[in-house]
């Protein structure tokens, strides 16, 4: 069922249908009535009632995330759905394929999907895009704010957590620590912040920075961790610790180290980031950063629902930092 189907039954254009469901005031009363009759006749309600659409109160929010195949974003989606359901809301998931264009399309598609607001989780965020963003619905952004925030933000303490993870490797005796996960060209967002935290830890502990130990990846999957270790070994760069920017990368790292004959953690200590469910079942079990997904979801949904109340849309923007925990397991020495 599409908007074009509704348009054909109502005898109008798809644009007119869009104008009606978005409650644009210039649509004629009789045209509006025909469109709503067609919507009710066809059941074109995107899992919400036509009555709710008419009232502009669908109890529906959207979550735009980069990649559902990655455990972190799947866990985040589950947590957001659970928090939303607890408050009588439903959630549309908008995978953006880690694409800036798809992210923007997802944001501007919100109103046509009848969502009252959106939780936006970009891999890399740009101030100019946020400045130009105008979708007519409240937005909560899951990232560090840039400059004066235009929207509410809920952020992981990426830099602080990365520093703590790297310092944990240092306390365990590692000095040649590789950082794996900065994407080529990524200068904003969580990857950039985790790299800064890694560098902070080296500087604070008097360890010289070696850029050859900063390994870029095309994505954050297991295969990227495997390929990074292969590149390190082929270049004959010595390393005795690895900070992987995600648990998925760390899983590939652990596999590659075993294949190459390294003992973990005796030869190389490994720490990840995310604390997804899989990490505790790796061999050895992975030490990792728990970024507080449940708290992230709760803050995001709570803030969005507040913004969906008309009397609170003009209140000051809120930036919330969620605390992290270091989960210590067998892949590290201390």
The answer to whether residues 120 and 107 touch, using CB atoms and an 8 Å cutoff, is yes
Spell out the per-residue pLDDT of the chain, length 334, in tens. Answer: 577 788 888 898 877 887 777 666 678 888 888 988 888 787 765 444 444 444 456 678 889 888 888 899 999 999 999 999 998 888 888 877 766 666 666 666 655 556 788 898 877 666 565 655 555 678 899 988 777 777 899 999 999 999 999 999 999 999 999 999 988 556 667 889 999 999 999 999 999 999 999 999 988 899 999 999 999 999 999 999 999 999 999 999 999 999 999 999 999 999 999 999 999 999 999 999 999 999 999 999 999 998 887 655 567 788 999 999 999 999 999 7
Torsions phi, psi for 202 (to 5 deg) = -65, -45
The encoded tokens of residue 213 equal 């130990």
Domain 3-44 has CATH 3.40.50.10420: no
Q: Rg of the chain over CA atoms, in angstroms?
A: 23
Burial 19-58 (b: 16+ CB within 10 A, else e): bbbeeeeebeeebbebbbebbeebebbeebebeebbeeeb
The structural domains of the chain, with segments of one domain joined by +, span 3-44, 158-290
Residues 58, 48: contact at Cβ < 8 Å?
yes
Partners of 326 in the β-ladder: 289
* Domain 158-290 CATH assignment equals 3.30.1220.10: no
């Amino acid at each position: 069922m599409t908007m074009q189907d509704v348009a054909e039954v109502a005898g109008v254009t798809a644009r007119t249908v869009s104008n009606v469901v978005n409650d644009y005031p210039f649509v004629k009363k009789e045209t509006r009535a025909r469109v709503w009759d067609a919507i009710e006749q066809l059941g074109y309600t995107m899992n919400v009632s036509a009555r709710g659409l008419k009232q502009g109160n669908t109890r529906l929010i959207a979550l735009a995330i980069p990649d559902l195949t990655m455990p972190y974003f799947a866990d985040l989606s589950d947590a957001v759905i659970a928090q939303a359901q607890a408050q009588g809301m439903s959630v549309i998931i908008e995978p953006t394929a880690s694409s800036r264009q798809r992210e923007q399309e997802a944001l501007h598609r919100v109103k046509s999907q009848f969502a009252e607001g959106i939780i936006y989780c970009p891999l890399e965020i740009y101030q100019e895009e946020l400045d130009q963003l105008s979708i007519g619905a409240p937005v909560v952004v899951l990232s560090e704010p840039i400059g004066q925030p235009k929207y509410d933000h809920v952020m992981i303490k990426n830099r602080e957590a990365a520093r703590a993870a790297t310092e944990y490797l240092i306390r365990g005796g590692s000095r040649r620590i590789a950082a794996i996960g900065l994407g080529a060209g990524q200068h904003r967002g969580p990857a950039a912040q985790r790299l800064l935290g890694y560098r902070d830890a080296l500087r604070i502990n008097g360890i010289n920075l070696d850029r050859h130990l900063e390994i870029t990846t095309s994505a954050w999957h297991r295969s990227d961790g495997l390929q990074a270790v292969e590149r390190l070994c082929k270049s004959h760069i010595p390393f005795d610790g690895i900070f992987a920017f995600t648990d998925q990368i760390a899983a590939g790292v652990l596999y590659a180290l075993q294949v190459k004959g390294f003992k973990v953690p005796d030869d190389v200590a490994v720490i990840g980031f995310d604390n997804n469910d899989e990490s505790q079942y790796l061999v050895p079990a992975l030490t990792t950063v728990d970024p507080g997904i449940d708290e992230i979801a709760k803050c995001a949904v709570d803030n969005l629902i507040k913004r969906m109340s008309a009397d609170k849309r003009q209140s000051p923007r809120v930036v919330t930092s969620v605390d992290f925990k270091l989960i210590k397991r067998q892949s590290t020495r201390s």
